[in-house]
Structure 1
């Protein structure tokens, strides 16, 4: 910035600054007394490193937002695998007999889910030793509740009554070392009585866990993976009302339901 000076008789030389020149150079005058001239640069300021020497291949990144400027001295990485994630895995899920399903205040159904299955791919996190898995819905099948698979109070379900389970999401984490399993499960339950009656879908979302799941009405305790891959997964979910007065009244919606699945999970490495 250049200043024009004017020398008055018997006075020291004083810079003569116009308001226009001050503002155009990014300066402002503090209203406090005596006046204080504050100047700022409109150009970006790069925070210097604390070190006097920098590696030639070091890349500095400056990021900014509307609320703050953040300076990073970490090198920019554009390629390479996350070092925390190691190996790829193939996971197979199978449902077995000895399962239970419960809804509202009714006693639980005895449910034979033998024959259900699904496959997933997974990646292990080295820091937590957990395998993150996501099941392919095209391969995931859970047997319906019907007279051949389900008993209520010791008796088979009435003929033509059928409850189909249509998975919408099945993913989560499995820890091979501790045996703990936590899988987010979302599904539609479709109630029908032959061709006479079909209710709107009931939507259920829960976490099937090898630990404990507890709600206000329902509760269950799972079992962790053993040496051969067997486990018990439980999950309590809230079931919201649907657009069907008959089902809402019969099931007392909104209410809770319990899934108690006896299952087998096998894990194999696919890394080369």
Structure 2
């Protein structure tokens, strides 16, 4: 972002300690959440001392809010993409950031993570709403990852361009009223602000700006399920893609 932001109107990072707002140049893209220490919502974080006598600084704790917005797209196989209004979805996470690193590790409470279902009210295909009674519910199982400096730097004007990498695993539940319910489709991908590419599908996201807005993209392989009708209709196994507009807010805990 080229616009300047005055200190009295700092979004997102205005409550983070200034000494932590120094990001190194970009490193090669990879999903780095595996390097994060386990995150605990009850963390109180005193520094600890290793057996070698070296003092390891405790990570800072932050409260992270994730909101889904309108203008999203979902696609599967070679069908046209669905236009998906995900506005109203919300989730909360505990984040930890080591004082020696530029990476914030976040882990969302999937039990309280709410993502709007695909219905005639939220989703259109080729400009037309989904048929009545058709519903695709999204039940998250894992949602965690990292927010890091990437190639962006937080400057004195608090401009920022942050790279987001969130591992997402969820069950997609297809139903038509009480007439038909398919076995769950399991989808696992990394939602990224960078590029996600499969053999059939690909997309590029947008990094998180100073208002917390970003576009996350993820391509996943969908395996066959124990339902011949759904396997034939979707052409399973196949690929799916999600292009999700979101807003991420970060506050000191």
State the TM-score, normalizing by the size of structure 2: 0.74
The structure 2 residue matched to 1:240, chosen from 199, 223, 239, is 223
Name stretches of at least 5 consecutive residues in structure 1 with no aligned partner: 1-74
Structure with larger Rg: 1
1:102 Cα deviation (Å)?
0.2
1:79 Cα deviation (Å)?
10
1:139 Cα deviation (Å)?
1.7
* Range with bigger deviation, 99-108 or 125-134: 125-134
Q: Report the counterpart of residue 51 of structure 2 in structure 1.
A: 76
Deviations, residues 128-187 of structure 1 (Å, cap 9, x unaligned): 311000001122010000000000000000000000000000000012554000000000
> Contact conserved, 2:80 with 2:126, CA < 8 A, in 1?
yes
> Contact conserved, 2:60 with 2:99, CA < 8 A, in 1?
no
User: How many residue pairs get matched?
Assistant: 195
The structure 1 residue matched to 2:133, chosen from 135, 160, 171, is 160
1:78 Cα deviation (Å)?
8.5
Is 1:263 aligned to residue 236 of structure 2? no
The structure 1 residue matched to 2:169, chosen from 186, 189, 192, is 186
Name stretches of at least 5 consecutive residues in structure 2 with no aligned partner: 1-49, 155-160
Q: Report the counterpart of residue 199 of structure 2 in structure 1.
A: 216
Q: Report the counterpart of residue 196 of structure 1 in structure 2.
A: 179
Q: Report the counterpart of residue 103 of structure 2 in structure 1.
A: 130
**Structure 2 Cα separation of the partners of residues 175 and 267 of structure 1:** 12
The structure 2 residue matched to 1:93, chosen from 52, 63, 66, is 66
Q: Report the counterpart of residue 141 of structure 1 in structure 2.
A: 114
**Structure 1 Cα separation of the partners of residues 100 and 168 of structure 2:** 25
* Range with bigger deviation, 253-262 or 118-127: 118-127
**Structure 1 Cα separation of the partners of residues 125 and 168 of structure 2:** 24
Q: CA RMSD in A?
A: 1.8
Task: Identify the structure with bigger relative contact order (alpha carbons < 8 Å, sequence gap 6+).
Answer: 2
Q: Report the counterpart of residue 142 of structure 2 in structure 1.
A: 169
Secondary structure of the residue that 2:232 maps to in structure 1?
Answer: helix
Secondary structure of the residue that 2:112 maps to in structure 1?
Answer: coil
**Structure 2 Cα separation of the partners of residues 118 and 224 of structure 1:** 19
**Structure 2 Cα separation of the partners of residues 77 and 200 of structure 1:** 53
**Structure 2 Cα separation of the partners of residues 235 and 157 of structure 1:** 23
Q: Report the counterpart of residue 67 of structure 1 in structure 2.
A: none
1:77 Cα deviation (Å)?
5.4
Deviations, residues 86-117 of structure 1 (Å, cap 9, x unaligned): 31000000000000000000010000000000
The structure 1 residue matched to 2:83, chosen from 80, 93, 110, is 110
Moved over 2 A (4+): 77-80, 125-128
> As a proportion of its length, which structure holds more strand?
1
